[in-house]
Amino acid sequence: MLNSQGIKGPPYRFIHGNNREIAKMRQEASSKPMALTHDIFPKVQPHIYSWINKYGRNYLYWNGVRAELVISEPELVKEILKNSEKTFPKRKPTIYLSKLLGNGLVTVEGEKWAKQRKLANYVFHGESLKNMTPAVIASVETMLQKWKGQEGKEIEVFNEFRLLTSEVISRTAFGSSYLEGEKVFAMLNKLSIIMSRNLYNTRIPLINKLWKPADMLESEELAKEIQDCVMKIVKKREDKVVNGEADSFGNDFLGLLVNAYHDSDKNNKLSMEDLVDECKTFYFAGQDTVNALLAWTVLLLAIHGDWQDKARREVIGIFGNQNPQPEGIAKLKTMTMIINETLRLYSSSNGMLRRVGRDVQMEKVVLPANIDLLIANAVLHHDPQLWGEDVHLFKPDRFAEGIAKATNYNAAAFLPFGLGPRTCVGMTFATTETKIALSMILQRYAITLSPAYVHSPIPVISLQPQHGIQIKMSALVKLAILLPCSLFLVALIKFLYDYLWIPLRLQHMMNSQGIKGPPYAFIYGNNKEATKTTNEALSKPMALRHDIFPRVQPHVYSCINRYGRNYLAWDGKRPELVITEPELVNEVLKHSVTTFPKRKPTFFLTGIFGNGLVTALGEKWVKQRKLANYAFHGESLKNMTPAVIASVETMLEKWKGYVGKEIEVYHEFRLLTSEVISRTAFGSSYLEGEKIFDMLNKLSIIRSRNFFETRIPLINKFWKSGDVLESEELSKGIQDCVMKIVKKREDKVVNGEVDSFGNDFLGLLVNAYHDSDENNRLSTEDLVDECKTFYFAGQDTVNSLIAWIVFLLAIHGDWQEKARREVIEIFGNQIPNSEEMSKLKIMTMIIYETLRLYGPSNGMMRRTESDVQLGKLILPANLDLLVIHSAPHHDPQLWGDDVHLFKPERFAEGIAKATNYNAGVFCPFGLGPRNCVGTNFATMETKIVLSMILQRYTIYLSPTYVHSPIPYITVQPQHGIQVILESLHNDA
């Protein structure tokens, strides 16, 4: 069947398939060493090398009676690994692999895999990796202490790194030491050797059921002993809790497993077999992969002294003679290039196995169900068509601009840790551990290859040096004893590297992809130009028109016209990719929050929101969002309606004395929205939170005037500006006020006045603050930050929105009349009710058009977590992304030549039709998983306020109004909005 589709291969042989031929070729290849070249593919996988050359990049061979399609064509590899696991699931492991890894994360499928992957993700996420760093450093220090007497002598590093990586995985994942797990490591190593020598042994039917070979008996015995050892380690962890020595099973990997083992929920509970299998998997994979990677990297650095020197200079420039720390590890660009090139030439994985879950068409080939697939990594990594004629040379500079550029944007050309949903969970852990170990070695030693080294890579589970890797080390002069001027030189080099070399290199990289922008200026970036342009634009009012983009964001407006819709700018030394192209906006905002997370907030923005919902990341954000969703879901909004109406009635009662007179509504709506958020979310009044609102307003003004201020290194550490001191004082004042309100709520429960803390937002926060479960409990800081966020965002956004709508209706009397007719038709002279609110179609159109012209948010900040492709662009890690709303909202190509006119009828058939089904064109409240949680609350409040005003008054713009929109956190009227009210009723 496959031959007829052009897939050839060695012919099937009865029972044994091609296993005997393969075993013979492998034995011949491993029986003799090779020359010291990096062209290792013909040696480590001679059968694949031979048959690819004979039958083509994809061919069929026979593992006994099982058909196995070897695939090395990048497009097919990508299709398999990125596809659904139901279409191409993992192959059922062989009997020996089952003994080695059991039904752990590497081999398991379906829901079981999802559950186990979730555990592993939790252990190896960013914050956990930071917490593991001290244990990795301590383990490396122990190894280096032992090396002290070995200077000038030969040392075999593959075995040294085996002990090191065993110690690291023991400490970080299992909270123990290598000695405690020594027997487990030894037995897993024996199992891997047994598996390797039986890889191409054919299991003959019936005979294998009646007679077990010695390797099978030994592997069963080893598997049983490993289970006993693991359960002893588990028992020890359990005993500590039982005896009161510990409060919990711990937060490391073993602790999470033991928690799951004891879980009362059957769906989450781990069986003993699952627990043991996960331990086996992480003991083996956590040690074996990093061991091989470290050893091969050291071999390559020992051969290529120029790259060893480059790596050492980088390490010393970043860390000096101090131990590595997480922030610096991310800056090791040269070392990252070296690691990537090592993974290409000496990839730990020899291939990935899948099978066809059901009959499927892949490109032009139809594959039957249950055929095995082998993805041959080594073929792709050593292919001159993908990497060039120098494919077998060690050239880390291939990766100078990241993996995507090195592979010409072909993801399947380089996949040392896999690809798609089942990418290795420990990838970041492995590279971090490697970087720490290499940094600490390079700080102390120069490495040369020993003449005794014999080059003979062999595939076991990972790729290993058959006879070890022998090197010699020379101790370096320690930085600590250098003259002070040398230390100054190191600091100067680091400073120039951070503030000159990196920005210029990144600017060149983005320019080469067609992304231009204003050139980087030393230290200040483009901040001085942006400040000057903004000050000029805001120094005078504008004509009464709605083309506000050149005024509120003049620097962005100017750069878009000069450099294009997406351009690179510099906030000090931080690169900022400004994005206004709707397709890219859509991709950034709708993408996973781990791919494009929020940017770390600036110092002054932290003063306003702290680490609340607007700025929080990861699991903290999930927890806080869950609380907010509950507080602002549909039923809760209904319950808030009376409080909103009561607040509006209070304001309108006061307005009765202003009929025919001028009234400044922006200030009026500030008091109103403050009262509404106080009543609905905090069960209090504006007066109780007045000081908080006042201090938050001051903080927003401070943040606005410091928006383009450059924080200069060192100076900011030793000297605080007046604004910094004031913002710190204000933050402290807000915390005190919030905690007084919380105390008042707590006292009511303590004194028996109420049964609970309440169901409003504050009540939910105080409940979480007192939660007995540490995972759900909010700290004092979290509670205060959430209150700050909702006090500010719940007031400021709606304040601006209502003010600008009233301004627009005052100018456009025809739309004011249409809105009033609709309100009276639906509500008459009765107060609005939540059931009828959805019928306000004209008002909805007016709100949308106001959000387009005077949208509260000027943009959203994101960043790249790692190298990532966005559209056709390849973006490096730690690049800030600024998604600008004003540009697409005011773009004539998207909205037509009447883009600057107030025309609510654009939205007559909804947002999708108005934007031509392009979500990135109009997203005033964000888009995707992090869209504003208060969207429905804001629009509901706005509709109630406008309905009640329109039932009573006709609004005219006062002649004293000066049109001067200004960007703070939201777009605000610099001099307020003055209107004149005319009563519709005699009793007004």
Element (H or E) spanning 100, and its range?
helix 95-101
- Structural contact between residues 19 and 64, judged by C-beta atoms closer than 8 angstroms: yes
E-strand stretches of 341-435: 352-355, 360-362, 365-367, 372-375
Pairing of strands 574-579, 880-884: parallel
- Structural contact between residues 93 and 198, judged by C-beta atoms closer than 8 angstroms: no
- Structural contact between residues 676 and 670, judged by C-beta atoms closer than 8 angstroms: no
Can you say whether residue 714 is alpha, beta or left, with left for phi > 0 and alpha for psi between -120 and 50 degrees?
A: left
Within 320-393, residue ranges assigned H as helices are 326-329, 333-345, 377-381, 384-387
Within 447-548, residue ranges assigned H as helices are 484-496, 502-511, 527-538
Output the six-digit token pair for 420: 């798609």
Nearest one of 825, 848, 827 to 904, comparing CA atoms: 848
Q: How far apart are CA 231 and CA 261, in angstroms?
A: 12
Within 539-617, residue ranges assigned H as helices are 549-552, 554-563, 582-590, 603-609
559 labeled binding residue: no
Q: How far apart are CA 827 and CA 831, in angstroms?
A: 7
- Structural contact between residues 891 and 899, judged by C-beta atoms closer than 8 angstroms: yes
Nearest one of 962, 882, 516, 500 to 708, comparing CA atoms: 882
CA-derived radius of gyration, the chain: 33
Contacts of 441 (CB under 8 A, 6+ apart): 140, 144, 298, 447
Output the six-digit token pair for 614: 């607007």
Identify any residues that bridge with 577 across adjacent strands, giving them in sequence order: 568, 881
User: Torsion angle, CA of 944/947/953/956, rounded to 10 degrees?
Assistant: 90
* Tokens 């929050």 -> residue: 593
Calculate helix-pair angle for 665-682, 686-705, nearest 10 degrees: 120
Output the six-digit token pair for 87: 């279409």
Nearest one of 469, 472, 470, 465 to 447, comparing CA atoms: 472
Nearest one of 433, 415, 432 to 424, comparing CA atoms: 415
Let me know the angle formed at the C-alpha of 204 by 203 and 205, rounded to the nearest 5 degrees: 115
At 106, give phi and psi (nearest 5°): -70, -30
Output the six-digit token pair for 486: 């040398």
Q: How far apart are CA 843 and CA 718, in angstroms?
A: 54
Identify any residues that bridge with 353 across adjacent strands, giving them in sequence order: 374
Q: How many residues does the chain have?
A: 988
Output the six-digit token pair for 460: 């076991």
- SS3 category, 662: strand
Which residues are annotated as part of the binding site for heme?
932
Q: Which residues are annotated as a binding site?
A: 932
